[in-house]
Amino acid sequence: MKVLVIGSGGREHALVWKLRQSPRVSQVYCAPGNGGIAEEAECLPADVKNLDSLVAVAEQVRPDLTVVGPELPLSLGVVDEFTRRGWHIFGPSKAAAKLESSKSFAKEFLQRYHIPTAHFAICDSIDEVLAALPHFHAPVVVKADGLAAGKGVVICRTKEEAASAAAEMFSGKTLGEAGRRVVLEECLQGDELSFLVLSDGERVAPLVAAQDHKRIGDGDTGPNTGGMGAYSTASIVDEPMTQWLLQHVARPVVTGMKAEGAEYKGILYCGLMMTARGPMVLEFNCRFGDPETQPILMRLESDLLEALEASIEGRVSEGDFRWSRDASVCVVMSSGGYPGTYELGKKIMGLEDAGKIEGVKVFHAGTTRRDGAFFTAGGRVLGVTSRAPDLETAVDRVYAAASKIGFEGAHYRKDIASRAVKK
């Protein structure tokens, strides 16, 4: 079978790596891919913001299955377009992807189905924000309604800050159309959890849970990023909690979407806050998480291809995945300055030595390959990932590997999974 993966990050590298292990996969393509992916798949130039470009790639390679990594092509309707042409593609339709592409839609949906989430208000003007703010306690979370590549959420210590963050979003200067509508939210406290399930539109199968580390700095300081590291262990969510999340979050979402005529197929990523009042939904993503996919797939022992096909063909069952009891950790190495401005084209050293450490796989995100060497080409550059029988060893391995890698301005957090290790 020929498989095409759409995207160019660490998540897509992990998908390519895992799909290649399927005995039924003969060839993997990636559009557009990156320097590291090019070692394992044939990369083809493509613009993920442009459906015509993705259709052209698929016409060229004629894949038996296409797997979509990022949210943007999903929100543009790549699944609808490929399905209309009779091509097999994994992921939700444009209508179903609205759970991620519109935060106001997601919040009203959560409310309709009594799924626990933070108290909120949807505002279309600064006057509406000013009228709603007295009903909130500071801190207040201000969110742009549309897709904002991780930059659409501001946690404001005061209501004045919240008003000015909302005004900035309405101005359209930083986030464009994504900020034309704003969601105000109560600020929740607790541990964050990424709980992903595979759905076929009716049934769901849970993946192992992971914890992301969103802030740029150690101790969860500094601005939010796409994710600076993640880990997954068997103990992160126990079986009763998994069942609770399936019953009170994942299944009601899938059932609700079907009832509303927008059947949800693909990965449903539930971003949760584990609060004193119980788990509450922070957000949905309509795709695999990045970097969560790297440690999650490191623990997957069954065939990923079979699971993705079960979603498309409507035969998902709860036991579709077989997982290792091992722990896994991913540490993201980023360009100096990220998530602000940064320079590109820095030569990356030490990749081979890092990859030789037991249980380690270095996934590439923003890299290019030139004359046998790798250079930085994005904010998040690498996802150094390890697997080991226990979390402590996985942490030791991942940091031993990261310390072997260097490029000018390289940054990574030194405390990924440290709170879980202390527990």
Which residues contact ligand AMP by CB under 6 A?
Answer: 118, 141, 143, 153, 155, 185, 187-188, 192, 214, 224, 271, 282-283
The item of ligand AMP, ligand GLY, none sharing an interface with residue 292, based on CB under 5 to 8 Å by kind, is ligand GLY
Among ligand GLY, ligand AMP, none, residue 251 binds (CB under 5-8 Å by kind):
none
Torsion angle, alpha carbons of 393, 396, 401, 407, to 10: 150
Selection from ligand GLY, ligand AMP, none that 378 binds (CB < 5 to 8 A by kind) is none
Task: Report how far residue 228's alpha carbon sits from residue 217's, in angstroms, rounded to the nearest whole number.
Answer: 9
| Closest distance to ligand GLY from the beta carbon of 214 (Å) | 7
Residue nearest to ligand AMP (CB): 283
Buried b (16+ CB within 10 A) or exposed e, 129-160: beebbeebeeebbbbbbbbbeebbbbebeebe
User: Shortest gap between Cβ of 288 and ligand GLY (angstroms)?
Assistant: 7
Q: Which residues pair with 327 in a beta bridge?
A: 388
Structure letter (DSSP) for residue 135: G
Q: Which of 212, 217, 219 is nearest to 383 (CA)?
A: 212
133 or 384: CB nearest ligand GLY: 384
Residue with tokens 């609770």: 244
Rounded to 5 degrees, what are φ and ψ at 144?
Answer: -70, 140
Residues 186-225 vs ligand GLY: string with x where CB under 6 A?
A: --------------------------x-------------
Torsion (CA) 355, 33, 288, 347 in degrees, nearest 10? 40
- Other CB atoms within a 10 A radius of the CB of residue 239 amount to 8
Integer Rg of the chain from CA: 21
The site partner of 246 among ligand GLY, ligand AMP, none (C-beta below 5 to 8 Å per kind) is none
Spell out the residues 6+ positions from residue 75 whose beta carbon is closer than 8 angstroms to its own: 94, 97, 98, 100, 101, 147, 286
- Could you say which DSSP state residue 117 is in? B
CB of 155 to ligand AMP, least distance (A): 6
The least CB distance from residue 24 to ligand GLY, in Å, is 28
Q: Which of ligand GLY, ligand AMP, none lies near 22, with the C-beta cut-off 5 to 8 A by kind?
A: none
Token readout for 12 is: 């897509």
CB 97 → ligand AMP: shortest distance, Å?
Answer: 15
Looking at 24-32, 172-180, 282-290, 303-311, which segment touches ligand GLY (CB under 6 A)?
282-290
Q: How many CB atoms within 10 Å of residue 21? A: 13
Per-residue binding string, ligand GLY, 286-315, x by CB under 6 A, is ---xx-x-----------------------
Smallest gap from residue 12 Cβ to ligand GLY (A)? 12
Report the nearest approach of ligand GLY to the CB of residue 67 (Å): 16
Count the residues in the chain. 423
Is 19 in contact with 304 (CB distance < 8 Å)? yes
Question: Per CB under 6 A, does 285 bind ligand GLY?
Answer: yes
Least distance to ligand GLY, CB of residue 212, Å: 4
Which residues form the interface with ligand GLY (CB under 6 A)? 212, 227, 285, 289-290, 292
